[in-house]
Structures are given as structure tokens and as C-alpha cells.
């Protein structure tokens, strides 16, 4: 069983634990579980409480709901089991309630496994993505790649794009390794998927310690706000990466071929039923109201990020009318 330790700026530590069947290894706790995951796995956990997944669960009303659960539970340990939205809302509640002494999480989606919650927890407010934030850190993150392998083994090879995006952002050697496998057209074995998830999350964990963010993550938040949270985060993240890379290219900030390799991989693997065209009018309005947007650059770039002023963003959008993933 592999482990990675993350240490925050405040010297708090989180241990990432990798393995199989980790759901059965969770400690005694009040377990808040994604209801969709419970149905998919056909399970019933001791001391469980169900919440729906998705962006709309990241609301202050749900935080108060969790506070009530904490008040009536004998356990001072809280577990979040599900995707990023469940982890965020449970983490926000745990980090803002003095009764909770420990938080453990078990991410169940590819994005939440390769981009673990290590820099605090955020919830949405008035349809604005991640407007409210609390500092906090899980004591343990249990990463079971078996929970996500079923998607990769089935018809959703697009799941491999998320570790590829993490590698584009933080580890060029890992990027080349994953991209070569994609290019070969080979199937992904369960063992290979476990290695990819481990390597990508380890690269992300190292970057999180340096407060670096993945390519596309800032634009993804703006896209979700522009859609009033109707766009799921994984879709917005890929859109955001394409948009940020397009901006970086227009400013001459990219070197090498990894950017074009990533875009071609998206065109090859992205599930068309998840495609949508970005409402750039709303997105431009949001960026204008903020005065600009900071985009993140790939690991091969000389800089880690770049501030794009609102006027430059709007001008670039008008001159280069991107069609989003619907045009791939």
C-alpha cells in the first residue's frame, strides 16, 4: 500500500493512502456519502448520511444541515465519500465546526482522486463558484483507483484526460508517458490505471504544497459561474484548459508541443455527449467585472501563471471566436 505525505504551510499534515477496497478500511466516523455512489456500488455503510452529488450541494444550507448531524452524532470524526462537491461541502463544515477533531475523505471520481482537496474547502453562494472558502486539511485521503477504473474500462476513456491535464500542469515526463499510451491506442489495465492515478495525484500533491494550480482550474470556475453552476466541474475543467492554453498561445507563452498534444488528445477522447459550447458573452462579463483573470501555465513554460487583463481577454475572445468542445 503506497502512501504520500502532504505538509501544509501551517505544518498540518495529511496522508494520502493508495490501495484497493479502502471503503472497508475507513475508521469509525459519521460518514457522509454521495447517494449516487451508494446506489452504484449497492452498499450500506454504518453511520451513513446521504447527500446528492453535484455543484448545487455545495451550498450554505447543506453546511447547516451537516452542522445538525454533527450536533446529534457521538463521533468527533467525519468522513466524506464521493466526488469533489461532497468533499468540499463536508470539508467546509468540518473545518468550521469546533466539535470535529478529524476529517477523512475517500474521493470517488477521477478528478477528485488526481486533484485531492489539499488547499482548503470552498462552497458556492448565489450561483458564484467557490465564493466562500475555509482553510482546512483532511487528516487522511484514501485513494482507491478501483472506484474509477470501471469508467476507463468501459466507454469513458476521456477519464484519462484528467491525469493527463495534471501531468501537463506539473510533470512533463508523466505527460509524455500518458500521452504515448493514449497515442498507441492500447487498453488501460487496472494496474496501469492505479499507477497513473498514483503518479498524477503525487505530482498534484507536490504542486499543492507550492500553491500551484492546474491549467484550466481558474477558467473552469469562471465557466461554471457563467453557466450558473449548470456545467459540471469536470466538463468545465477541460473547457477551461483549452481556453487557458489558447490564451497562453496567443501571448507566446508556450514552448514545445505538449499543448497541441493535449488538445489533440481531447479531440480524440472527449465524450461528445458531454460537449457544450461556452457562453462567452457571460464569461466575458464575469472577467470584466473581476478586472481580469489569472491563467495557469504548463510545467514546460518559464512562468507558472499569467494575469490576463479584462480588456485583453475580451479582445482575444472577439478576435478568436472559440467554439468550445462542441467544435472538436
pLDDT at position 290 is 94
**CA 67 – CA 323 distance, rounded (Å):** 43
Q: 98 and 55 share a domain?
A: yes
Q: 162 and 83 share a domain?
A: no
Q: 35 and 98 share a domain?
A: yes
Q: 123 and 19 share a domain?
A: yes
Which tens digits make up the pLDDT trace of 166-206?
Answer: 999 999 999 999 999 999 988 899 999 999 999 999 999 99
The sign one gets for the Cα dihedral 82, 85, 91, 96 is negative
Q: What is the CATH number of the domain that holds 15?
A: 3.40.50.1970
pLDDT at position 322 is 52
Q: Is residue 272 part of a domain?
A: yes
pLDDT at position 186 is 85
Q: 177 and 237 share a domain?
A: no
pLDDT at position 291 is 95
Q: How confident is the model at residue 11 (pLDDT cuts 50, 70, 90)?
A: confident
Q: 118 and 8 share a domain?
A: yes
pLDDT at position 328 is 45
pLDDT at position 304 is 92
Which tens digits make up the pLDDT trace of 293-306?
Answer: 999 999 999 899 99
Report the number of distinct structural domains present in the chain.
3
Q: Is residue 89 part of a domain?
A: yes
Percent of the chain whose pLDDT exceeds 90: 80
Give Dmax (Cα) for the chain. Answer: 59
Q: Is residue 256 part of a domain?
A: yes
Q: 92 and 180 share a domain?
A: no
Q: How confident is the model at residue 327 (pLDDT cuts 50, 70, 90)?
A: very low
Q: Is residue 117 part of a domain?
A: yes
Flag whether pLDDT at 273 surpasses 70. no
Please tell me which residue, 292 or 324, carries the higher pLDDT value: 292
Which tens digits make up the pLDDT trace of 41-77?
Answer: 998 999 999 999 999 999 999 999 999 999 999 999 9
**Given strand 13-18, what is the order of strands in its sheet?**
3-7, 13-18, 140-143, 102-107, 77-82, 30-34, 48-51
pLDDT at position 187 is 87
Which residue range forms the structural domain that includes residue 227?
A: 217-327
Q: 50 and 135 share a domain?
A: yes
Q: 166 and 244 share a domain?
A: no
Under DSSP, the state recorded for 20 is S
What would the mean pLDDT of 92-99 be, rounded to a whole number? 96
**CA 94 – CA 76 distance, rounded (Å):** 10
Q: 173 and 104 share a domain?
A: no
What would the mean pLDDT of 84-104 be, rounded to a whole number? 97
Flag whether pLDDT at 323 surpasses 60. no
Q: Taking all residues of the chain, what is their mean pLDDT, rounded to a whole number? A: 92
Q: 320 and 263 share a domain?
A: yes
What would the mean pLDDT of 234-259 be, rounded to a whole number? 90
pLDDT at position 317 is 77
Q: Is residue 149 part of a domain?
A: no
**CA 297 – CA 248 distance, rounded (Å):** 7
Q: 102 and 169 share a domain?
A: no
Amino acid at each position: 500500500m503506497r502512501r504520500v505525505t502532504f505538509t501544509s504551510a501551517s505544518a498540518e499534515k495529511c496522508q494520502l493512502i493508495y490501495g484497493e477496497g479502502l471503503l472497508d478500511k475507513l475508521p469509525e466516523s459519521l460518514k457522509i456519502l454521495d447517494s449516487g455512489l451508494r446506489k452504484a456500488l449497492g452498499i450500506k455503510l454504518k453511520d451513513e448520511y446521504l447527500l446528492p452529488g453535484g455543484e448545487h450541494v455545495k451550498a450554505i444550507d447543506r453546511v447547516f444541515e451537516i452542522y445538525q448531524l454533527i450536533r446529534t452524532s457521538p463521533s468527533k470524526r467525519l468522513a466524506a465519500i464521493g466526488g469533489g462537491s461532497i468533499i468540499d461541502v463536508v470539508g467546509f463544515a468540518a473545518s468550521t465546526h469546533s466539535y470535529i477533531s478529524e476529517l477523512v475523505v475517500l474521493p470517488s471520481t477521477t478528478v477528485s482522486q488526481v486533484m485531492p482537496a489539499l488547499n482548503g474547502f470552498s462552497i458556492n453562494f448565489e450561483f458564484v463558484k467557490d465564493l466562500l472558502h475555509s482553510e482546512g486539511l483532511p487528516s487522511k485521503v484514501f485513494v482507491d483507483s478501483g472506484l474509477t477504473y470501471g469508467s476507463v474500462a468501459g466507454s469513458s476513456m476521456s477519464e484519462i484526460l484528467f491525469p493527463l491535464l495534471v501531468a501537463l500542469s506539473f510533470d512533463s515526463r508523466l505527460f509524455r508517458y500518458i500521452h504515448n499510451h493514449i497515442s498507441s491506442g492500447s487498453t488501460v489495465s487496472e494496474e496501469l490505471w492505479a499507477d497513473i492515478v498514483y503518479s498524477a495525484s503525487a505530482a498534484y500533491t507536490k504542486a499543492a504544497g507550492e500553491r500551484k494550480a492546474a491549467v484550466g482550474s481558474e477558467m473552469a470556475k469562471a465557466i461554471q459561474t457563467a453557466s450558473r453552476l449548470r456545467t459540471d466541474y469536470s466538463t468545465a475543467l477541460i473547457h477551461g484548459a483549452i481556453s487557458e492554453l489558447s490564451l497562453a498561445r496567443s501571448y507566446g507563452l508556450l514552448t514545445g508541443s505538449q499543448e497541441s498534444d493535449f488538445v489533440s488528445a481531447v479531440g480524440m477522447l472527449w465524450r461528445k455527449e458531454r460537449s457544450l459550447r461556452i457562453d462567452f458573452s457571460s464569461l466575458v462579463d464575469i472577467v470584466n467585472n473581476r478586472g481580469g483573470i489569472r491563467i495557469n501555465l504548463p510545467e514546460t513554460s518559464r512562468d507558472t501563471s499569467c494575469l490576463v487583463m479584462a480588456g485583453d481577454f475580451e479582445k482575444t475572445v472577439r478576435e478568436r471566436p472559440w467554439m468550445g468542445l462542441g467544435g472538436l
